[in-house]
């Protein structure tokens, strides 16, 4: 055996795939950049202006703090409410959407419906509700509910489908009705995953609720777009601080809860 | 024969009722704050359904020629911002991840930076940057890049930190330099992870780039927003359907590529 034998770090076939992938990404990138026809002429000046504006944001202006904090509370409670409503509805519907406990044909219909609701972003749903109901947090909460409902139905019905078929069989054999099988056989098994899916969705809803206002669906996002349109960067800076504080604290609380709460006690 | 029934988890019922009470109480309080009218919400259901199924559907296929260009712009914006963010993130992630960081100071600074970028949504970045850059595609690209930078730095760092450090140790102890460690020890292990996170970020960016158009970021979001404002709901529906299809196609493709490399 020669001493200068080379050991390849990556399998040959994999290596060619990587090279192909990187080449096509580079080509796609160059093509996209070319097609976008961005104007680079004023780029430097714009970047300088952007930094100027962002620096001005750090001179927080607290004068409207009551309005801003109330809007933040509105966003927060919108997210909580949307999570509660959609979790309850999705919990009820998910039994019909799980292939192992539902009637034939029904799961495909419900899952298809939910997939098409999910394919449309939350913000577009909010925009549709704003067009129907008018400006305000009500439209935002409904938009959030719609998307979270479809999301949670998928998550919950997946958890139900993972329930051991043997234990369902055993319950049926003792003469338990459908409702009894669900209540004693399925619910105790999926309880933990339902709570963690709902918690996950709650985090998403908090993030979404702060931007709903940008399309006119109320909450703290409305204040942000209001002050930015008036070029009132000092107040907008304070709004951004509130948004950051909200999302940071939710993240921290949830990291804590996942460790401390005994979910089985619930 | 005497039958005895075992009580089924009696002690838990207190927690259950307490939980139900807390949920209802929270629902009422938050509903009050966010002006949510439950009766109104039920009352408008038929109206909403007819709004969606009669005003929006069927989508107007005549709008298709007007959608193609904004849709392509959306796609290009997502590609440019994802790749740009990925290139910057790779460098920052190597400086930030524990096995490869030159100094712990980098870790703290980069993590704080990434978390700051991540916690302001791309939509908010668009609003922040519109006064400086003006409405258009450039502001969309920059906002998307900033948004994906925040998440990609985190994902890349996690990928690098998950690798088997034994190999790095082996190369180091046989006299490998920092670059040799990176090339032979770190890169072969984390490339699949980096690629699949980049693809995931592309998916997210395509979704995000449709909505940043609504606040001045260019692309198909602007088209959806303006057609809804002009009450041309069937045109908006066509754009929404096409966007949903684009999202599904990208998701499918990236899933296939990820299966291939993992």
pLDDT digits 0-9 by tens, B24-62 = 888 888 888 877 777 877 788 877 787 777 777 787 777
Rounded CA-CA distance B153/B96 in Å is: 9
CA of B104 vs chain A CAs: smallest distance (Å) = 23
Say if residue A145's pLDDT is above 50: yes
- Taking the Cβ of residue A241 and every Cβ of chain B, the question of whether any pair is shorter than 8 Å is answered with no
B214 vs A240: CB contact, 8 Å cut-off?
no
Rounded CA-CA distance A163/A103 in Å is: 17
| First and final C-alpha spacing in chain A | 66
* Mean pLDDT computed over every residue of chain A: 82
Confidence at B12, pLDDT banded by 50, 70, 90: low
Give the pLDDT confidence score for residue B84 in this predicted structure.
Answer: 92
Of B48, B51, B128, nearest to A228 by CB-CB distance is B128
Structural domain span for residue B243: 61-261
Yes or no: say if A78 and B30 are a contact pair by the CB < 8 Å rule. Answer: yes
Confidence at A149, pLDDT banded by 50, 70, 90: very high
Tokens of A127: 């925009």
Rounded CA-CA distance A227/A230 in Å is: 5
Give the pLDDT confidence score for residue A266 in this predicted structure.
Answer: 32
Say if residue B6's pLDDT is above 70: no
Say if residue B168's pLDDT is above 50: yes
Say if residue B85's pLDDT is above 90: yes
3-state class (DSSP) for residue B7 = coil
B127 vs A215: CB contact, 8 Å cut-off?
no
- Chain B residues within an 8 Å CB radius of A234: none
CA of A151 vs chain B CAs: smallest distance (Å) = 15
Of A28, A210, A265, nearest to B121 by CB-CB distance is A210
Average pLDDT over residues A209-224: 83
- Taking the Cβ of residue B11 and every Cβ of chain A, the question of whether any pair is shorter than 8 Å is answered with no
Give the pLDDT confidence score for residue A263 in this predicted structure.
Answer: 39
- Taking the Cβ of residue A85 and every Cβ of chain B, the question of whether any pair is shorter than 8 Å is answered with yes
B137 vs A38: CB contact, 8 Å cut-off?
yes
**In this predicted complex, what is the ipTM?**
0.76
- Taking the Cβ of residue A252 and every Cβ of chain B, the question of whether any pair is shorter than 8 Å is answered with no
Q: Which of A34-48, A57-71, A78-92 has the lowest mean pLDDT?
A: A34-48
In a domain, B130, yes or no: yes
A218 compared with B226, residue with greater pLDDT: B226
Give the pLDDT confidence score for residue B46 in this predicted structure.
Answer: 79
Give the pLDDT confidence score for residue A264 in this predicted structure.
Answer: 37
Give the pLDDT confidence score for residue A265 in this predicted structure.
Answer: 35
Number of domains in chain B: 1
Rounded CA-CA distance B238/A65 in Å is: 42
Give the number of beta-carbon pairs within 8 Å between A and B: 178
For A142, which residue in chain B has the nearest alpha carbon? B41
Average pLDDT over residues A80-104: 88
- Chain B residues within an 8 Å CB radius of A14: 261
Rounded CA-CA distance A46/B131 in Å is: 9
Of A33, A215, A244, nearest to B120 by CB-CB distance is A244
- Chain B residues within an 8 Å CB radius of A31: 76
For A16, which residue in chain B has the nearest alpha carbon? B261
In a domain, B16, yes or no: no
Give the pLDDT confidence score for residue A107 in this predicted structure.
Answer: 86
pLDDT tens figures, A190-207: 888 888 888 888 888 888
Characterise A154 by phi-psi region: left (phi > 0), alpha (psi -120 to 50), beta (else).
alpha
In a domain, B93, yes or no: yes
- Chain B residues within an 8 Å CB radius of A7: none
B99 compared with B139, residue with greater pLDDT: B139
- The enclosing domain of B204 has a CATH number of 1.10.3720.10
Rounded CA-CA distance B208/B141 in Å is: 11
Confidence at A148, pLDDT banded by 50, 70, 90: very high
Rounded CA-CA distance B48/A133 in Å is: 9
Say if residue A29's pLDDT is above 80: yes
How far out from the chain centre does Cα B66 lie? 27
Where does A56-265 sit in CATH, by number?
Answer: 1.10.3720.10
Of the candidates A221, A249, A215, the one whose C-alpha atom is nearest the C-alpha of residue A236 is A221
- Taking the Cβ of residue B47 and every Cβ of chain A, the question of whether any pair is shorter than 8 Å is answered with yes
CA of A246 vs chain B CAs: smallest distance (Å) = 9
Yes or no: say if B90 and B157 are a contact pair by the CB < 8 Å rule. Answer: no
- Which own/partner pairs from B187-190 qualify as long-range (CB within 8 Å, at least 24 positions apart)? B187/A9, B188/A9, B188/A10, B189/B163, B189/B164, B190/B159, B190/B160, B190/B162, B190/B163
Yes or no: say if B59 and B238 are a contact pair by the CB < 8 Å rule. Answer: yes
Give the pLDDT confidence score for residue A87 in this predicted structure.
Answer: 92
Rounded CA-CA distance B176/B171 in Å is: 5
CA of B244 vs chain A CAs: smallest distance (Å) = 5
Of the candidates B157, B149, B151, the one whose C-alpha atom is nearest the C-alpha of residue B88 is B149
Q: Which of A97-101, B56-60, B222-226 has the lowest mean pLDDT?
A: B56-60
Rounded CA-CA distance B6/A101 in Å is: 27
- Taking the Cβ of residue A204 and every Cβ of chain B, the question of whether any pair is shorter than 8 Å is answered with no
Confidence at B9, pLDDT banded by 50, 70, 90: low
Yes or no: say if A82 and A205 are a contact pair by the CB < 8 Å rule. Answer: yes
- Taking the Cβ of residue A189 and every Cβ of chain B, the question of whether any pair is shorter than 8 Å is answered with no
In a domain, B13, yes or no: no
Interface-testing mutation among B20, B28, B31, B36, with chain A (most A C-beta atoms within 10 A): B36
Give the pLDDT confidence score for residue A86 in this predicted structure.
Answer: 93
B120 vs A240: CB contact, 8 Å cut-off?
yes
Rounded CA-CA distance A82/B83 in Å is: 35
DSSP letter string, chain A:
--TT----SS-HHHHHHHHHHHHHHHHHHHHHHHHHT---TTHHHHHHHHHHHHHHHTS---TTHHHHHHHHHHHHHHHHHHHHHHHHHHHHHHHHH-TTTS-SSHHHHHHHHHHHHHHS-HHHHHHHHHHHH-SSHHHHHHHHHHHHHHHHHHHHHHHHHTS-HHHHHHHHHTT--HHHIIIIIIHHHHHHHHHHHHHHHHHHHHHHHHHHGGGT--SHHHHHHHHHHTT-HHHHHHHHHHHHHHHHHHHHHHHHHHHH--GGG-
- Taking the Cβ of residue B69 and every Cβ of chain A, the question of whether any pair is shorter than 8 Å is answered with no
Confidence at B83, pLDDT banded by 50, 70, 90: very high
- Chain B residues within an 8 Å CB radius of A54: 128
Average pLDDT over residues A156-166: 85
A9 compared with A57, residue with greater pLDDT: A57
Q: Which of A31-35, A127-131, A149-153, B48-52 has the lowest mean pLDDT?
A: B48-52
Say if residue B257's pLDDT is above 50: yes
Q: Which of A9-18, A224-233, B130-139 has the lowest mean pLDDT?
A: A9-18
Say if residue B2's pLDDT is above 90: no
3-state class (DSSP) for residue B35 = coil
Of the candidates A84, A95, A97, the one whose C-alpha atom is nearest the C-alpha of residue A183 is A95
* Mean pLDDT computed over every residue of chain B: 82
């Amino acid at each position: 055996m020669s001493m200068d034998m080379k050991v390849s770090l990556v399998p040959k076939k994999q290596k060619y795939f990587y090279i192909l992938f990187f080449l096509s990404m580079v080509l796609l990138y160059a093509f996209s950049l070319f097609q976008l026809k961005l104007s680079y002429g004023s780029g430097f000046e714009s970047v300088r202006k952007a930094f100027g504006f962002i620096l001005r944001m750090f001179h927080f202006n607290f004068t409207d703090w009551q309005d801003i904090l109330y809007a933040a509370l509105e966003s927060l409670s919108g997210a909580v409410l949307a999570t509660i409503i959609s979790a309850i509805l999705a919990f009820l519907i998910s039994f019909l959407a799980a292939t192992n406990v539902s009637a034939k044909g029904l799961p495909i219909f419900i899952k298809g419906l939910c997939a098409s609701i999910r394919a449309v972003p939350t913000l577009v749903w909010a925009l549709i509700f704003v067009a129907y109901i008018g400006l305000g947090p009500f439209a935002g909460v409904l938009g959030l509910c719609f998307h979270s409902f479809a999301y949670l139905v998928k998550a919950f019905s997946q958890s139900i489908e993972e329930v051991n078929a043997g234990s369902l069989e055993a319950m049926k054999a003792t003469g338990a009705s459908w409702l009894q099988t669900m209540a004693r056989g399925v619910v105790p098994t999926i309880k933990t995953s339902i709570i963690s899916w709902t918690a996950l969705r709650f985090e998403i809803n908090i993030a979404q609720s702060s931007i709903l206002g940008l399309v006119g669906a109320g909450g703290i996002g409305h204040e942000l777009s209001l002050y930015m349109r008036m070029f009132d960067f000092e107040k907008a800076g304070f709004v951004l601080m509130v948004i950051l504080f909200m999302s940071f604290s939710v993240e921290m609380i949830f990291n804590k809860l996942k460790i401390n709460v005994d979910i089985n006690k619930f | 024969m005497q039958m005895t029934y075992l009580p089924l988890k009696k002690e838990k019922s207190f927690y259950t009722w307490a939980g139900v009470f807390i949920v209802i109480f929270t629902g009422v309080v938050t509903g009050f704050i966010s002006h949510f009218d439950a009766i109104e919400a039920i009352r408008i259901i038929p109206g909403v359904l007819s709004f969606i199924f009669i005003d929006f559907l069927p989508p107007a296929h005549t709008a298709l020629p007007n959608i193609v260009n904004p849709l392509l712009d959306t796609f290009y914006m997502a590609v440019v911002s994802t790749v740009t963010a990925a290139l910057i993130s790779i460098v920052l992630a190597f400086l930030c991840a524990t096995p490869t960081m030159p100094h712990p100071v980098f870790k703290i600074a980069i993590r704080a930076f990434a978390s700051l970028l991540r916690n302001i949504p791309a939509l908010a970045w668009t609003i922040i940057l519109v006064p400086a850059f003006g409405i258009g595609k450039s502001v969309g690209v920059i906002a998307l890049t900033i948004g994906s930078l925040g998440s990609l730095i985190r994902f890349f760092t996690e990928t690098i930190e998950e690798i088997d450090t034994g190999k790095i140790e082996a190369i180091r102890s046989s006299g490998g330099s920092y670059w040799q460690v990176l090339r032979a020890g770190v890169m072969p292990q984390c490339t699949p992870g980096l690629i699949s996170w980049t693809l995931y970020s592309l998916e997210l960016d395509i979704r995000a780039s449709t909505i940043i158009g609504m606040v001045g970021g260019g692309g198909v979001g602007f088209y959806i927003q303006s057609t809804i404002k002009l009450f041309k709901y069937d045109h908006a529906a066509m754009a929404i359907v096409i966007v949903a299809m684009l999202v599904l196609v990208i998701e499918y493709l990236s899933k296939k590529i990820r299966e291939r490399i993992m």
